[in-house]
Structure 1
Amino acid sequence: MKKTIIYSFIAILVCALGFSFFYNGFSGIQSMTIQKYDEPIEKGKITTDKEKIKTITGILNRSNRVTANYELVYPHDYKIQLKYKDGKTEVLYVNKNFGSNITLFVSDVRDSYKINDKQTKKILDLLLN
């Protein structure tokens, strides 16, 4: 009986630690707006489709968090504005071709995130189509 309780506790602890380690905190997103970097937010394309938002949120939560700050010599390619259900907003600046098969997403309120080009293409296709 004691072994079962101990094993259950260890399994729950491992799951909780794994979840917190691989989760970047993107949740409760109500809408997403994407536009070219030099366009005003009013010209952006708004997405409120729950399935698209769920897919994109999953990709963002599985991305590699980067705590370093980068000085980029070229402008961002896109801006993605996230509107949360609690009224807060966050802007992700998208830098395609940041590295070999890597796109850098820079948040205005959090860290930066590296996403592979395949997942970036999926995000952009969902938001632009």
Structure 2
Amino acid sequence: MPKGRGCKQKGDNFERELAAFLNEYAYGRSLCHRAPLSGGGSVISTGGADLTGTPGLFVEAKRVERCAFPNALEQAERNAEQTCSTEHPIVINRRNRQCMEESYVFLRLGDFLAFYHAWLEREGHPHSN
């Protein structure tokens, strides 16, 4: 199990891999990037999202075996509030030996409904509020 610098490097690599994955499968172009100076460590932490160029999403990326999702989401929400972001805070977690598309996404139900309503509209299934 990596410790110290190894854990940070694993997290940094995950952020880069996640950005590349989103660019290929969500955006179809190079829109998303790892935020400069993101990641753990009190010296370099900026309190922003881990990824930039993710319209509507305030991404907290976690590359850990056991993710405390509520705590991670609260961290994303605090950071979003501190930076005056209006984007939806989400946590994306990938475990060891897990392929990227099997990563977990954690968000508040109210935020999920915003995305689900948009999908319903796109698919021709109107919803009522």
Shorter-chain TM-score range? under 0.3
Larger of the two Rg values belongs to structure: 1
Normalized against structure 2, the TM-score is what?
A: 0.25
Give 1 or 2: higher strand fraction. Answer: 1
Normalized against structure 1, the TM-score is what?
A: 0.25
Point out which structure has higher relative CO (alpha carbons under 8 A, 6+ apart): 1
